[in-house]
Each structure stands twice: as structure tokens, then as C-alpha cells.
Amino acid sequence: MGSSFNIVGEPDDHEHTYNARVTAVSGGYERLMGTPIIRGRMVSDDDAVNSPFVVAINETLARKFFAGKDPLGQRIDVGGAKTGMVKPYTIVENHRRSGG
């Protein structure tokens, strides 16, 4: 699904909305899809509902929204209160863009 997001700690930019394609995955997704990890760690089955929320991003998102910064450990709010996704997600990995 497509979703807007905000970078936690960055001022809101009301003129430009940050958007990304979001896919929910479970542990082993990267191995199954053959997606190489550039930095960080994989999303794992230990990343459960009672754990801090985590997110993986691709190189395109990292370059566009975190230019000159290390995205690992940064937090983003995905979708906002209207989607029920109100907790921030911590970036745990950065992988190459796969497919289209």
C-alpha cells in the first residue's frame, strides 16, 4: 500500500508530503525474495507486536530522505493516526531496491 510518513524529530513540511510504498513482512522475507541487505539487520520473527516497531527501507528512500545522514536508528511515523499506525517505526536495515 502507499502511505505518507514523517521523520521523527524533523519539522513537518506542509508543502511536501513524504510518501512511500509499504509492505508488511515477517522474518525471512529478504532471504525468500533474494533481497541483499546493505546495512543493519533483517526484520525477524522476534519483531512481534509487543516489540518496538521496526521498518526496512531501500536505497532509494535512504538517498532521497536521509541524504548525508545515517538512516539506521532513525524513526518514522508511517500513515499517522488515521491508519491506526500511531507508534513510530525504527529503521533497522537498508537494502537494495528490488523489482519495480
Structural domain spans, the chain: 2-95
β-pair type (89-95, 75-78): antiparallel
Please tell me the predicted confidence (pLDDT) of residue 33. 86
Q: Which residue has the cell 541483499?
A: 36
Candidates 54, 22, 62, 7; CA nearest to 38 is 62
**pLDDT single digits (tens) 43-60:** 888 887 788 888 888 888
Please tell me the predicted confidence (pLDDT) of residue 100. 39
Q: How far apart are CA 49 and CA 77, in angstroms?
A: 16
